[in-house]
Structures are given as C-alpha cells and as structure tokens.
Structure 1
Amino acid sequence: MNTHADTTSPRGRIDRRQTARHLLQTDLEKLPDAERQVVERFIAKRHVARDIVKQADRDRSLGERIADRVAEIGGSWSFIIGFGLVLLAWIALNSLVLAHAFDPYPYILLNLCLSCLAAIQAPVIMMSQNRQAAVDRLRAQNDYEVNIKSELEILQVHEKLNRLREQDWMTLVELQNRQIAMLQQLLERTGGLPPELPPDPPAH
C-alpha cells in the first residue's frame, strides 16, 4: 500500500499546493502569517531569500544612522586612544603648562564633561544595539522561511522522482507483458515445444 500522499495533478504534473499541505500536515489557511506567505511564494515560484542587512540599512532613520555611527566610533581603538590623549592634554595644561589653570585639580570640569559624555553615549549605544537585535531577529526569521521553502522544494523533487520511478515500473511491466504474449504466441505456433536449433557444424 502506498503511504505517501498523491501530490500529482490529473495531468501528471506536481501540484505545489498539495506538496506544501503534505509536508506541513495541515491546511494552508491554518498556518501562521509568516509560514503562509512562504507557502504562497513557493506555489507562485517566487524567491524567499532577502538581503536583510541591506534592507535594514536602507530603511534606517536619521537617528538610527547617528546611533550606529556613534556606537561604531565609541567602540573603536581610535576613539580610546584619541580620548586618552585628550585627557592627558587636559591634565597637562591645567597642571604643568598654564599659570592660571581653567580647571585645576581635582578637575571638576573634566569630571562634569566625562559624566555628560557617558550619560549621552550610553543610551545612544543602546539604541544601536536594539536596532541590531531587531535586524538579527529579521535575519533569523528569513533563515526560517528559507528553510521551509527548501524543504518544500526537496519534497517536490522527491515526488517527481517517485513519479518517474512509477512510470518506469509501469513501462517495464508493460514490456514484460508484451514479451510474455510473444512467447505464448511462439509456443502456440511450435506446438508447445521450443523451436529446434540447427545442428552444430562438424568440427574440422
């Protein structure tokens, strides 16, 4: 008994909708929106894979672009080295160079600037991280959709191979039946005995 579902159309073509229903083991209307869209793309023979990073970069707002740029600069060695040089120069000016320091020890103005910088930089970096997390979720969702479509395509290939094997088997059975019929006709003509073979020529 054949246990796999018949996913071929009456004309022998593979029905992509039946293939999707057979793989997912449910009606398409009962699927979540994301999976149903993937199945619809599969039936329509449309691509599912997308360049999520490129799409996210294109859809960024001005604030998100600024946040990404601040996070990129703040997390680089160039920023660390440059900021360290600024601190050393500030301390040197107020301790060694200037006779009347504008921010003498304990550098209260410097501490105020550092506090303001940290208060502004931290939420900006968090905004950039939140956007990156959203991009990662979109990328994972796209990978899931691609995997579903790949499984559907693989199942369709299996169905095509099964159909080809069944057609080959039917052709072999038909050919065997013809050979049996020809053999029966030959036996009837010879009276049920195999035809006599000509004698071997004498050896010299």
Structure 2
Amino acid sequence: MALRPHLTLPELALRYLRKDPHNLDPEERKVLETFKERAPISRDAADIEEAEASFGDRLADRVAAVGGSWGFIGSFTAILIGWMLLNSDILTRWGHPFDPYPYIFLNLMLSTLAAIQAPIIMMSQNRAGDRDRVAASHDYEVNLRAELEIMRLHEKIDIVLARLDKIETGV
C-alpha cells in the first residue's frame, strides 16, 4: 500500500475517519484540511476566545473578578462598618445622620448593587462556559490531528517494512 502524497478531502475522510465526506463535523473537516496541507492546527484556546470577546464581555469578566475577590469583600465590609458608625455614632452626636438605623438608604444601595452585579457575574460565568467549550473543541481537533498523523506514520512504517521484507526474501 503506497501512500499518495495528494489525497483529496473526501479520500482522506474515507481513508482515515471512515466517514462519508458529507457527514463530517466542522471540526473534522477543519482537521482534515490542515492535515492535507500539513499545516499546524494547535493554537491557544484563550487567544481564540479573547479575539471573539466584545467590550461588554471583557467588562463583565473584570467586574466578576473584582466582585469575587477577598479584596472586594474586605473593602466592602470596611465601607459598611464605616457607614454604620458614621450614621449611628458620629453624625448622631451632631444630630444630622443622613441614614439612621435601620439604614434604609444603605439597604437600597445594597439591593441596587446586588441587582446590577448578579447579572454581570452570570454573564462572566456564561463566558467561562463558552471558553470551556472552545477549549474542548480545540482539544478534540488537536487530538484528532495527532491520531491522523500517527495513522499516517503507521502506513509509512508498514511500507518500509514491506520493502524490507521484499529485500530479505529477494523478491
């Protein structure tokens, strides 16, 4: 079995994947095309996803990174304690607390923050899921390409071994 250097895409699909070329997934078609051209297929999945990210996507990631950090929790706790001390103790001594206990304005601000921050964090989580899907698809492409290259190497080794057998047997 001699290797032909320029197999067509349908021939590659039938030979290596044992699939009809019309039934190929987009990933399989892409892998076979790069396999045929002997072009590299691996690339950084994070770079792929980042190139497709919009301004809003990147902003949601930044907000989620800040809102989900210990620094944010510590700072926010300090602000809340400061707000309560200011309105319960310091300004009460002068008779001018702008948000006395039960801190209705503070509750309004916290509710507003939660109402805005929750969907933004969910957007970031959705993007993380999208990143995982891109990475999984890319991993599949790289693994399939590696498998095809191994199959091609096996064919070449089989040809070399067959030629050695002919030489040894004198045929």
TM-score, length-normalised on structure 2?
Answer: 0.90
Question: In the TM superposition, what is the alpha-carbon distance from 1:40 to its structure 2 partner?
Answer: 1.2
Counterparts of 1:87-106 in structure 2, within 5 Å, are 87-98=80-91, 99=94, 100-106=96-102
The match for 2:30 among 20, 34, 37 is 37
Give the structure 1 partner of residue 15 of structure 2.
22
User: Which secondary structure does the structure 2 equivalent of 1:102 belong to?
Assistant: coil
Give the structure 2 partner of residue 8 of structure 1.
3
Whether 2:119 is the aligned partner of 1:126: answer no
1:103, 1:109 within 8 Å by CA — same for their partners in 2?
Answer: yes
Q: Give distance in 2, aligned partners of 1:93 and 1:156.
A: 75
Q: Give distance in 1, aligned partners of 2:122 and 2:18.
A: 42
User: Per-residue CA shift, 1:58-107, capped at 9, x if unaligned?
Assistant: 33211111111100000101000000000000000011111221000000
Give the gaps of 5 or more residues in structure 2.
Answer: none
Whether 2:163 is the aligned partner of 1:159: answer no
Q: Give distance in 2, aligned partners of 1:162 and 1:96.
A: 87
Counterparts of 1:1-204 in structure 2, within 5 Å, are 6=1, 8-9=3-4, 18=11, 20-98=13-91, 99=94, 100-174=96-170
| Equivalences, count | 167
Bigger Cα Rg: 1
Give the gaps of 5 or more residues in structure 1.
Answer: 1-5, 178-204
2:42, 2:142 within 8 Å by CA — same for their partners in 1?
Answer: yes
Question: In the TM superposition, what is the alpha-carbon distance from 1:123 to its structure 2 partner?
Answer: 0.2
Question: In the TM superposition, what is the alpha-carbon distance from 1:57 to its structure 2 partner?
Answer: 1.9
Question: In the TM superposition, what is the alpha-carbon distance from 1:54 to its structure 2 partner?
Answer: 1.7
More helix by share: 2
**CA, structure 1 residues 30+36, in 2 after alignment: closer, same or farther (shift >3 Å)?**
same
Q: Give distance in 2, aligned partners of 1:66 and 1:165.
A: 59
Q: Write the letter of the residue equivalent to 2:142.
A: V
Q: Give distance in 2, aligned partners of 1:102 and 1:29.
A: 71
Q: Write the letter of the residue equivalent to 1:136.
A: D
TM-score, length-normalised on structure 1?
Answer: 0.76
> What's the RMSD between the two structures over aligned residues?
1.9
Question: In the TM superposition, what is the alpha-carbon distance from 1:27 to its structure 2 partner?
Answer: 3.0
Q: Give distance in 2, aligned partners of 1:21 and 1:129.
A: 40
